[in-house]
Amino acid sequence: MRAVVQRVSRASVTVDGAVVGQIERGLLVLVGAAEGDAVADADALARKVAGLRVFPDADGKMNLDVQQVGGAVLAVSQFTLLGDCRKGRRPSFVGAARPEVASPLFDRYVEATRALGLRCETGIFQADMKVELLNDGPVTLLIDTGKLF
C-alpha cells in the first residue's frame, strides 16, 4: 500500500457539500492499495503511520508521534497514488488494486489504526471528495509498504 502522510493543524473531507470527516491536530493520510497488497500491508501501514515521530517535543525536535500529542488521523482513499506517469502524459492506473480489493484493504487500514488507540476519521470510498487541510510545517512524507521508495 502507498500513503502520503501530512502533518496537519486541521483537515476535513467533504462529499456533496457535507463534511463526512474532520480532525484538528493530527495526520491526513491519503491511502492507495496496489495490486498484490494484502491485509498485512494495511496492518503494517497503520503501525508505521501511528509510530511516525513527526510532531515537535519541548525542544522543537520531531520526536513525538500522533498519539503522544493527542492527535487524530483523517484517512482518505486515493487510488491515484498508484498512477504511473513514466510513459506519456496520461497516468496509467493498472498497478492500482481493483475497488473490490482496495475497499476492504482501506477499511482494514482504518480498523488497524483505531485498534492502535487512535481516533480515525475517513472520507467515503470512491466518492468525489473535496479535501481541505492546513499542512503544519509543512511536513509531508511518502510511505510504500513494498518499500519501492
For residue 63, name the pLDDT band (cuts at 50, 70, 90).
very high
| pLDDT value of position 5 | 98
Whether 109 is covered by a domain: the verdict is yes
Whether 28 is covered by a domain: the verdict is yes
Cell numbers for 106: 482501506
Average pLDDT, the chain: 97
Query: 3-class DSSP state for residue 25?
Result: coil
**What is the pTM (predicted TM-score) of this model?**
0.97
For residue 148, name the pLDDT band (cuts at 50, 70, 90).
confident
CA 8 to chain CA centroid, Å, is: 12
Whether 44 is covered by a domain: the verdict is yes
Number of domains in the chain: 1
For residue 31, name the pLDDT band (cuts at 50, 70, 90).
very high
CATH of the domain at 37: 3.50.80.10
Whether 120 is covered by a domain: the verdict is yes
Q: Which domain, by its residues, includes 41?
A: 2-137
Q: Which residues are part of the catalytic machinery?
A: 78-80
Whether 142 is covered by a domain: the verdict is no
Q: Distance between CA atoms of 67 and 64, rounded to whole angstroms? A: 8
